[in-house]
Structures are given as C-alpha cells and as structure tokens.
C-alpha cells in the first residue's frame, strides 16, 4: 500500500506543477488554488508512504519520477523543446531511481 501512496504522491505533485504553469504566476485564481490543493495532497500521501518506505528512497523516487514526468508533460502539452540531451537526462533520472530501488532490496 505504501508504494501506491508514493505513486499517488508523484501524480499529485505533477498535477500541482502543471497547475503552477496554468496559474500564470498566480494571475489565474482556479489553477492557483488547484496548485496548493495538489501539493498538500501530494505531501500528505508522501507522508503516508513514509510509514513503510525508507525516507531517502521515497524522496528519491518522488522527486526523480516527478521530475521525469513533468519534463514529459512540458514537451507533450506545453510544446517545450526536446533534444537528445534532455531525453538522455530523463533516462538517467529513471535509471537512477531504478538503481536506488535495486540497491534497497533485501536478500
């Protein structure tokens, strides 16, 4: 269940960052409110995930996958530029998260 909370925290964090973009520097009320709601929910579900997942691992997965996903959202929905360096960097973030997970496995 903790990993489900962590996945939800990541999705909510991406929604919060997307709402931040839509808020246009707090000039649009509804996206500005949504941003705060999504971030509060994200941190709340992250807190629930921390009951069973090591803090360093949970935060690395939350931050790393959140960063990778928001980069993809930026390219797909906001027409942000994409190049081979950006793709390689996103892949390295994902590989780092996978590596952390593998290193934390108990044998």
Which DSSP state fits 28?
A: S
**Tokens found for residue 22:** 């839509």
Q: Which residues of 56-93 are buried (b: 16+ CB within 10 A; e: fewer)?
A: ebbebbbebbbbbbbbebbeeeeeeeeeeeeeeebeeb
* φ/ψ bin of 80: left (φ > 0), alpha (ψ from -120 to 50), beta (otherwise): beta
Asked whether residue 56 carries a pLDDT value surpassing 80, the answer given is yes
Asked whether residue 102 carries a pLDDT value surpassing 90, the answer given is no
The reported pTM is 0.89
In the prediction, which pLDDT does 14 show? 98
Select the more confidently predicted residue: 4 or 103: 4
Asked whether residue 107 carries a pLDDT value surpassing 80, the answer given is no
Output the average pLDDT for the chain: 93
């Amino acid at each position: 269940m903790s990993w489900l909370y962590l996945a939800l925290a990541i999705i909510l964090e991406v929604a919060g960052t997307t709402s931040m973009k839509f808020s246009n520097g707090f000039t649009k009320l509804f996206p500005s409110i949504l941003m705060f709601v999504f971030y509060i929910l994200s941190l709340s579900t992250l807190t629930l995930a921390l009951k069973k997942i090591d803090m360093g691992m949970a935060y690395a997965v939350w931050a790393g996958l959140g960063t990778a996903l928001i980069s993809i959202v930026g390219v797909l929905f906001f027409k942000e530029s994409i190049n081979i360096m950006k793709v390689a960097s996103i892949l390295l973030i994902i590989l780092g998260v996978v590596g952390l997970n593998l290193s934390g496995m108990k044998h």
